[in-house]
Chains A and B, each alone.
Chain A
Amino acid sequence: MAFSDAVLRACKGKGTAYRYGGDELCILLPNHSIDESLAVAERVRREVRAIRTDELLDGLSTSIGVACFPESCADSSKLVWEADTAMYISKKAGGDRVSEAGHI
């Protein structure tokens, strides 16, 4: 569907996209610094924002969280938790934004 297409498009050649569970998608970006990962995330946000469907004339938006090991998150076992938390921060702040783990 349109959302995953936008995500796959945004991370093509950079990393791999997964469906994490429920409605959540995530992208693993090997050899990407926090800044580079944020850039990919921002691209996803813009791609999703550009989607238009018949049901949703206002389009879609997405809440995004970004973490990076070891740059922003020194403990690899907490990487998922950090990124997931950052995503919820984005959601709570009204969505359609990118949040960086540890900078919230």
Chain B
Amino acid sequence: MPGHRRTRLPALLGLVLFACAACTSDADSAADEDPATSTQPPSAVAKTTTSTPVVTLRRADAPVRIRVDQVRGRLPDVKQALLAKAIAAPVSAWFDNAFLDVAYPATDFTAAFASWTPGSRDQSHRDRDVTTNQALGPRLAAVVADSRQVSLSIFGSRGQSGGATARVRLELTGQRLSGPPRIHLKVWGDLYLTPGDDGWRIFGYDLHRSVLDR
């Protein structure tokens, strides 16, 4: 009966929310913990931030998987695989500079936007909690890529490449300096690229980020 559905659903939702809240309370507090405001004794904080962390996360990064989803319009007469490689190069560089090839624990992510147009760097820097690993960087000892996917939609006209959207998905596991040992980060969305004299560059983005703690 509809009446039963109406009364049961909120109860179930309440239980689910209660379950999530109870399960995550420890993880939340650990993930949000800022070393500067930590409840740990000062000596413990100093120990984790001044000594070289022991990295136990040592598996290889997952390879970058590049796929061409769509081609619209007339492109230059080059092999599609070569074109895809050229378009994906700045994306791959961004994966590295903003997340992977970083000396953790890290606070400086200014190199993250080397493959972006100069005009897009200011804005992406303002959004660095999503466009880089700035938010977690100081609390990590190391990261490894679990998945790096790039799906391209390319536009061309009159035999000239006009631009491309790179639908990206980056999944990382991070080793934390303290608290639960592992943290999982996922960044996904679109990067917009155009070709220039010095190769393809990222000029815009629509990105999302989630962090899973355990």
A and B interact physically: no
B interface residues (Cβ-Cβ under 8 A, vs A)? none
